[in-house]
Amino acid sequence: MSEDPKRLLLIFLKEPIEGEVKTRLAKSVGNTEAVQIYRALVATLMTQLQWVSDCHYRFCFAPADAEEAMQFWLLPHLNHQIEGGSIVPSDDKTPRVDFVPQVDGDLGDRMESAFLQGFREGFSQVCAIGADCPFLSARWLESAYLSGKNTDVTLGPTPDGGYYLISMNAFSSAPFRDVPWSQDDTLSTTLEKLAEANLTTQLLPELSDIDHESDWLAALETPLGARLKKNLQREQA
């Protein structure tokens, strides 16, 4: 693996606390199972994303005091360990990871800050995802980074009008300001903002995210369902 990866993957996650994650899902399955499903989704995503080449993985977590808790939760899913206070990959082929707290504000504020920091650190391409789309795999991340060679911004749409991924090859605040988050016009408004800023865009294939119980049940019937069930059973044990 390159000593200095040029690509940064921002993974936005919350500490898995009842009442704080998957709140729409919790309305039908309860807070306890919603947290278990959330943890299962993240475990599945970690498997799906191992590993994108020439890429640094950054976990953007909330709340800001949850760093140790997030490391305790996530590092067992990865080929890393903590040595002398530093996160060390198991071998030279394993990407480096770090943990950075999210800033205050809405989702746009938090993503804008993380993207700006990434580009200031010298990364040439920055991509952000969350934990709601277990169908996202390294294949689509590679596609997003490749499209960045000819496109300013790449987005991965979801059926509910949002997106599961955004990738940029240079910083712009356009996709992060005055956007209605978690609404059926999130993607369309984002595209309008990008067009107004004269930025070119490309869309990846549409992938479903998991917001409601019906989404979860539908995911269990897909080829990924067996892995999701296994990870949920592990969380419930």
pLDDT over 70 at 92, yes or no = no
pTM: 0.92
Higher pLDDT, 19 or 96: 19
- Taken in order 154, 158, 161, 163, is the CA torsion positive or negative? negative
Q: What is the largest CA-CA distance in the chain?
A: 51
* Percent of the chain whose pLDDT exceeds 70: 94
- Supply the pLDDT for residue 53: 76
Q: List the single range of 10-14, 18-22, 49-53, 184-188 with lowest mean pLDDT.
A: 49-53
Q: Please report the DSSP string for 9-74 in residue order.
A: EEEEEE---TTTSSHHHHHHH-HHHHHHHHHHHHHHHHHHTTT-TTEEEEEEEESTT-HHHHHHHH
- Supply the pLDDT for residue 1: 41
146-198 tens-digit pLDDT: 888 889 999 999 999 999 999 999 999 999 999 999 999 999 999 999 999 99
Distance between CA 120 and CA 75 in Å, rounded? 26
Domain boundaries, the chain: 7-236
- The structural architecture, per CATH, of the domain 7-236 is Alpha-Beta Complex (3.90)
User: Residue 114 has what DSSP assignment?
Assistant: H
- Supply the pLDDT for residue 221: 96
Query: Which stretches does DSSP call E strand in 95-226?
Result: 97-101, 125-129, 153-157, 163-168, 201-203
